[in-house]
Amino acid sequence: MKSVEIIMVPVKDRQKAKEFYLKLGFQVIVEAPGAHGDTWIQMGIPGSDTTISLAGFQGIIFETDNIEKEIKELNGKGIEVGKIDNTPWGRFAWLKDLDGNSLCLHER
C-alpha cells in the first residue's frame, strides 16, 4: 500500500455535509452519480493528496500500484480479501479489520 487515498465519512445528507465541508475549506474533487444510485462526493483540502468521500458507510481506501500482488501478500499473512471489482474508476478489493471496519485496496 502506498498511501491513504480516501477516507469514507458516513453522513446522513450528502448535500448538507458537502456545504459544511466547503465552509471548512475543502473543495469538491468529484461529484458524480455513484454505482449504487447515490451521488459520489469526494472532497479534499487544497494541496493534500488524501481526500474524503461523503458516503453511506465508513471505510478507508488505500492506493496500490499492483492490487493482485497486494492481495497475494495479505492472503499470505492470513488476511482475507474480497474479489477484485473492475470499475471505470479503477480496480477495488475490500477487506475488514478485526473490528469489522471496512478497508479497500484501489489500483488506478
Residues 4-54: pLDDT tens digits?
A: 999 999 999 999 999 999 999 999 999 998 777 789 999 999 999 999 999
* CB proximity list for 102: less than 8 A, separation 6 or greater: 8, 57, 58, 59, 60, 94, 95, 96
pLDDT at position 31 is: 95
Instruction: Decide: 85 and 93 in contact? Cβ < 8 Å.
Output: yes
Has residue 88 got a pLDDT over 90?
A: no
* CB proximity list for 44: less than 8 A, separation 6 or greater: 26, 27, 29, 50, 51, 52
**CA 1 centroid distance within chain:** 13
Residue with cell 458507510: 57
pLDDT at position 34 is: 77
pLDDT at position 89 is: 86
Task: Identify the structural domains of the chain with CATH numbers, from first to last.
Answer: 3-107 (3.10.180.10)
* Mean pLDDT to the nearest integer, 73-96: 95
